[in-house]
Amino acid sequence: MKQCFVAILVLSVFTWNYALAQDAKGLTKKEQQVFNKREKSLIQQFREANLSWPAQQLYLRSFKQDGVLELWVKNSLGEPFVLFKTYNICALSGKLGPKRREGDKQVPEGIYYINEFNPNSDYHFSLGLNYPNQSDLVFADSKSPGGEIYIHGQCATVGCIPILNSPIEELYVLASIVRKQGQDIIPVHIFPIRFNNQQSAQAIQMLVGSNPDYMRFASQLKEIYDYFEQYKQLPIIGITQEGAYKILSR
């Protein structure tokens, strides 16, 4: 059967959240205070890591079982991503497996991008993710799939990714800078495990062994994970009509 793909992580036309228009209006007072506080430190950290400032592209990769959020950067399209920093996720909710409905307390798993910059979050600062995406909408509860998934400060969650206040300030500033440099789409990949870790693979095998749907889903994420591990580049990823992630271009 012929399949139709929805391409993601490519430059296209998106409807952006109102908060993404901040560049045209300037920074809020709160944002300016955080920029003044964090930008000089970031420049120094880049210098110590032998990285060029400012970064041109940013990629975020999270692992639920490890409870970490990785920040990868690069300065041109052709060069590989370099790991800049790893933040600890300070609170977890749910278990391994994707989010499928409102109130299930699950952190999503899948391929997302930042679609909101919120300096006035109840959780200090926050970066919104485009959950539910086209894959989620195939599998999630059709009436109540849930939403409002963020990377944010403080240390409380019912499905988000909290990294405390200092890290979210730093990440917010870095994400704002790369967006200003021209990266409209900042990808965020959320994986259940590191697929090359034997212990983790055994843990997820216990889940997928009795759940063929999750086995198929996890294998799609593993293919994307393996590609990045090999090349330190991101493939172009599509979503089939059946909701499956598929690498379209290598």
What tens digit of pLDDT does each residue of 160-204 get? 999 999 999 999 999 999 999 999 999 999 999 999 988 887 778
**CA–CA gap between residue 50 and residue 63 (Å, rounded):** 26
The 10s digit of each residue's pLDDT in 12-30 is 333 344 344 444 347 889 9
Domains defined for the chain, CATH in brackets: 16-200 (2.40.440.10)
pLDDT (tens digit, 9 = 90+) per residue, 89-131?
Answer: 999 898 889 999 999 999 999 999 999 999 999 999 999 999 9
Q: How many CB atoms lie within 10 A of CB 28?
A: 13
Q: Which residue in this structure is represented by tokens 């409209």?
A: 184
Copy the structure tokens of residue 104.
Answer: 């299930």
Q: Where are the alpha helices (DSSP H) in the chain?
A: 22-25, 29-48, 134-139, 165-180, 198-208, 212-231
